[in-house]
Structure 1
């Protein structure tokens, strides 16, 4: 083993986005990295059975795209080469918040959106070029190998799909990136360790998505549209998300069990029922390229591994195996990338110290706290949400953020700060700048009737100027 490595072999369970990011990080620290995936990666970008949600919109926030460019230099150029395109999410995107249409102006919030299959395929192709990464497909970990006297996980037994063949792999470190269905709590219990406390907060959101070809005569000045639902009564929202080859993924959402239908007439009627007809008007003559897919597994679920003092060495989890978010907020892939960076930092600073898992989980919790509070806080706006009730502080934050968005309609600086927090490029306390607090209090002491017209009646803002493309 080279002296540049801190260990001989690391094993990643699961080829999720978190698993792919993790394999890339581990390749810098271990002489050998093995990624075990129960599915088979396709030779070209396409849907695969192991990722049933891949037909829906998958947003990679600006912070996430920055991280992927850091891990895979030239990543954005590869997306462009596959006919994806840059989007300025402020200037080229229409955003109808509960407070109205948000302003448009040239900004640095520019990413290259694409479909989930293309994103995954590009990353997978890059991983295949890294010589110390081995990918085992059509297999999954069935059990862990242990050395009880030193409280360490030493490897895993993998079972190959469609055969009786199994194999034992020894590893210095195993990372569980198997997602929402992680068996780690069960395995810990079987080994005599405590299981983590868990919280589930579910607003019972469902969504339906369909891919469309952008009409040839399309001449609008926007590239994306996002229409928010408006709690507590207007449960419906939707977006047009641009992907490669001049296609759109159109996703409509319904909160508190107001689930979008899967038939074509019902899907279009649902789209037409949104707070603005702009999405319906855009797609009514567009060519559908896919069936209508639906999904309802959208609850926020967090496992608090950082609260456990007794954990075996040699085993950690990250990504959805630790914390999942309501996907409507678009945080999942970016938080998974942040989790991989956290692992990188902890490996540099703490490995192979005893209680490395505890060190890692404490750092990971710091990464998870902001997006968790954002997602669950918003879900608590819906009266039928289960898993808890908003406390007084949460209700005050709701009122404060409502005022921030309302101010953002007329103050681009405030709206930009809001977008920075949403894209996880700035901490949440950015929105509590003294100037913003004073403006919020100013709005609070003026009657709403004196300030507002019906936000849906406001004119749709126009593109301000051509976005900068100096990169």
Structure 2
């Protein structure tokens, strides 16, 4: 098999997971790939300023993990080598919805519990070891060079240095010349403003904000802890309180616990409030687990949970060699654990588009159209779930309200029927699309559910 032809220089803005995976793919097609990031990368798994979300629960869906394994063979094995635990989604990951506890049965779908910092560190170490990938740390991207037809590069300057006020003073900026620019700068991407600066069309946006707040903390798993579950996900129940939690085991024999709430039910950053909030959840499972467990971190909060997509396929008038990926293009409520998976899928799509041709006038159009199709299901599930959780379906279409009612019935059926719950898990883990939930075998089980089980085990 012949190697793909290589082009000149590609610049990736942002060195998080989306940017690193994009760089991995670009390395097969460009002589040099430069990753620009405003942080200094830690030598070992650790938090950094540019990735504040790393303090919270991160779920790497099975579909996303398989995509990363395709890009970086042995990735899953490295996670396990670093003591990331695994659990069976059907029997060891317990889930509570307003309909009740999901039916439990081993299903063979195994997920890996790992911190965001471990996942990113393994990917970064592998990608930056590639001979034609270089990184510019402590460097801030501050604009695009070029026009509406094509970008010529990226304006950068050292982090902490401001643009000079007097034209006569020596500038602190430089232009990194580039044949292709990929924006992977995350939720804080400034590409829309930069497009306006070069006379290009600024993409419209759609968003839905569930007004969700997170509070997360890491605990040591108590010695001798025993339970018939390894991880749990508690959705808010019916009633006035919209509170929930996710607990997963991670490397180092630790739990990471995220509490979440909507509106006035958002948790605080005060350590003394963490356990009382956990006790207010629809189930005492999380509170009982962390009560007496040793905290290993402070409580970290966030309210950056809005879903937003940039409609970059809607109109012409943008450079054909400027691509958006990861949260710069589509960001989702982190509750649904879609971010790392959509980043991986985006990198795979980028590779497919580059293999099909590198026409700089057409690459962005092809890539963004394929990215929109790939992310349609993720957007649907995230916004539908948020509408259901908040109880606010006033702005939803009749089709969306009908889908919400069907998903409620599916959850109810899944409390009695492991096959229905498995169908949901296959969608939840990005192995199948939401349309599979309407397959005749599942549809009939939802419309004609099993009667309630007698003496069914309650978690």
What TM-score does the superposition give when structure 1 sets the normalisation length? 0.91
Summarize the Cα distance change of 1:297–1:353 in structure 2 as closer, same or farther, 3 Å threshold. Answer: closer
Q: Note closer, same or farther for the CA distance 1:3–1:438 as it changes in structure 2 (3 Å cut).
A: closer
State how 1:370-409 maps to structure 2 within 5 Å. 370-382=377-389, 389-409=395-415
Greater alpha carbon shift after TM alignment, 55-64 vs 354-363? 354-363
2:128 aligned residue: 128
Distance 1:285 1:183 in 2: 44
Q: Assess if the C-alpha contact under 8 Å between 1:206 and 1:257 holds in 2.
A: no
Q: Distance in 2 between matches of 1:157 and 1:35?
A: 13
How far, CA to CA, are the matches of 2:223 and 2:140 in structure 1?
45
Kindly state the Cα deviation for residue 61 of structure 1 after the two structures are TM-superposed: 0.6
2:14 aligns with: 14
Cα distance 1:217–1:383, how it changes in 2: closer, same or farther (>3 A)? Answer: closer
Superposed displacement of residue 147, structure 1: 5.8
Quick check: 1:413 aligned with 2:419? yes
Q: What does 1:76-155 align with in structure 2 at a 5 Å threshold?
A: 76-146=76-146, 151-155=149-153
| Matches of 2:359 and 2:366, distance apart in 1 | 11
Deviation readout 1:313-344 (Å, 9 max, x if unpaired): 22111111111111111111111111111111
* 1:382 Cα deviation after fit: 4.8
- 2:203 match: 196
Q: How does 1:11-410 map onto structure 2 within 5 Å?
A: 11-146=11-146, 151-163=149-161, 165-230=172-237, 233-352=240-359, 354-382=361-389, 389-410=395-416
The offset of 1:146, in angstroms, is: 1.3
Q: Which runs of 5+ in 1 are unaligned?
A: 462-471
Give how far 1:384 is off.
Answer: 7.5
SS in 2 for 1:381: helix
Q: 1:105 to 1:170 in 2, by over 3 A?
A: same
CA distance in structure 2 between the partners assigned to 1:418 and 1:9 by the alignment? 43
How far apart are residue 353 of structure 1 and its match?
5.1
| Count of equivalent residues | 449
1:379-430 Cα offsets, whole Å, 9 max, x none, are 12255769x7112211111111111111112221111110000111101111
Q: Is the 8 A contact 2:18 2:344 kept in 1?
A: yes
350-359 or 312-321: which moved more? 350-359
What is the CA distance between 1:22 and its match in structure 2?
0.6
Residue of structure 2 in register with 1:464 after alignment: none
Q: Report the alpha carbon displacement of residue 110 of structure 1 after superposing the two structures with TM.
A: 1.1
Give me the whole-angstrom Cα distance separating, in 2, the residues matched to 1:184 and 1:83.
38
Are 2:91 and 2:105, in contact at CA under 8 Å, matched by a contact in 1?
Answer: yes
Q: Separation in 2 of the partners of 1:81 and 1:177?
A: 28
Q: Which runs of 4+ in 1 moved over 4 A?
A: 382-386
Which structure 2 residue ranges, 5 or more long, are not aligned?
162-170
SS at match of 2:388: coil
Which residue number in structure 1 is paired with residue 428 of structure 2?
422
CA distance, structure 1, for counterparts of residue 371 and residue 286 of structure 2: 38
* SS, match of residue 263 in structure 2: coil
Provide the aligned C-alpha RMSD in A. Answer: 2.2
Given that 2:155 and 2:173 are in contact with CA atoms closer than 8 Å, whether structure 1 keeps it comes out as: yes
> SS of 1:95's equivalent?
strand
Alpha-carbon distance in 1 for matches of 2:431, 2:442: 18
Q: Normalising to structure 2: TM-score of the pair?
A: 0.93
